[in-house]
Structure 1
Amino acid sequence: MNPAKTYKDLLVWQSAHSFVMEVYAVTKSFPKEELFGLTSQVRRAAVSVPSNIVEGFGRWNNADKLRFYNIAEASLHEADYQLFLAGELQFADTSKAQEIAINTKRLLASFIKSIRPQDA
């Protein structure tokens, strides 16, 4: 397998980007009074996922890369809960976004494992 030339070549980034696009689509239907609340919060958390993947991709050493990929992972967990909450509050059907989040979590965990030292 050839190494990625740009972050856009990474399957994990592609999945994270799809996640952001779906989060933006689903949050359009959130109540207007949530614009500066849950809508803003879940969008920021979602955008943080591919953004940190990109930042990690640009780092030279694995310790730096792993730090940013871990931040992406944490932001993904945060956004996933916020989508769950929005569903519970019946703001929208968030199931598609949550499915993409699950796939992105799986890809990100594998990606991190491939970089992490074996003894860690």
Structure 2
Amino acid sequence: MIELKSYRDLTVWQKSMDLVVICYQLTSQFPKTEIYGLSSQIQRAAVSIPANIAEGKGRNHLGDYIRHLSMANGSLKELETHLMIIGRLGYLKEQELKVTLNKCEEIGRMLHSLIEKLSQNKKG
């Protein structure tokens, strides 16, 4: 198994960074009245995902890393909820929303797998 040298080598971090770009592109389409509301919250939740992955990887303690991955997963769930709200408000086309939520689900599965793997390493 190849040891990852950096958080930037993690596919989940790379995909999370892509999701940030998508979210910024999506929120640029929102009504200007949402600039300090949902737009801001979506952007902050999206940015928090790769930021927590990176911060956790930078910690010297496995427990801290797992905790930060859990926080990234929490931010992901927050983001999914905000996306569902904007879907209900009709701010996005259904296809755009579906594609973005699918990306969230993929990242969620990756985070879950990484947390599980690291938790097994911690026990064994």
TM range (shorter): over 0.9
**Structure 1: which 5+ residue stretches go unaligned?**
none
Cα distance between partner residues in 1 of 2:9 and 2:103: 18
Answer yes or no: is the 8 Å Cα contact 1:56–1:64 preserved in 2. Answer: yes
Please point out which of 101, 108, 112 is paired with 2:111: 108
TM-score, normalised with respect to structure 1? 0.94
Describe the superposition over 1:56-103 as per-residue Cα deviations: whole angstroms up to 9, x where unpaired.
010111111111111100000000000011011001132222111010
Q: Distance in 1 between matches of 2:41 and 2:91?
A: 14
Moved more, 58-67 or 32-41: 58-67
Deviation (angstroms), 1:117: 3.7
Alpha-carbon distance in structure 1 between the residues aligned to 2:54 and 2:38: 25
Which residue identity is paired with 1:10?
Answer: L
Aligned position for 1:35: 35
Aligned length, in residue pairs: 119
Matched, 1:21 2:21: yes
Tell which deviates more after alignment, 3-12 or 70-79: 3-12
Give the SS at the match of 2:35. helix
Whether the aligned pair in 2 keeps the contact of 1:12 and 1:104 (CA below 8 Å) is yes
Check if 1:90 corresponds to 2:79.
no
Question: What RMSD over aligned residues (CA atoms) do the two structures have, in Å?
Answer: 1.2
> What TM-score does the superposition give when structure 2 sets the normalisation length?
0.91
Higher relative contact order (CA 8 A, sep 6+): 1
CA offsets 1:23-67 (integer angstroms, 9 cap, x no match): 111111011100000000011001000000000010111111111
Structure 2 unmatched ranges of 5 or more: none
The answer to whether the Cα contact below 8 Å between 1:18 and 1:100 also exists between their aligned partners in 2 is no
Residue in 2 aligned with 1:7?
7
The sequence identity of aligned pairs, in percent, is 37
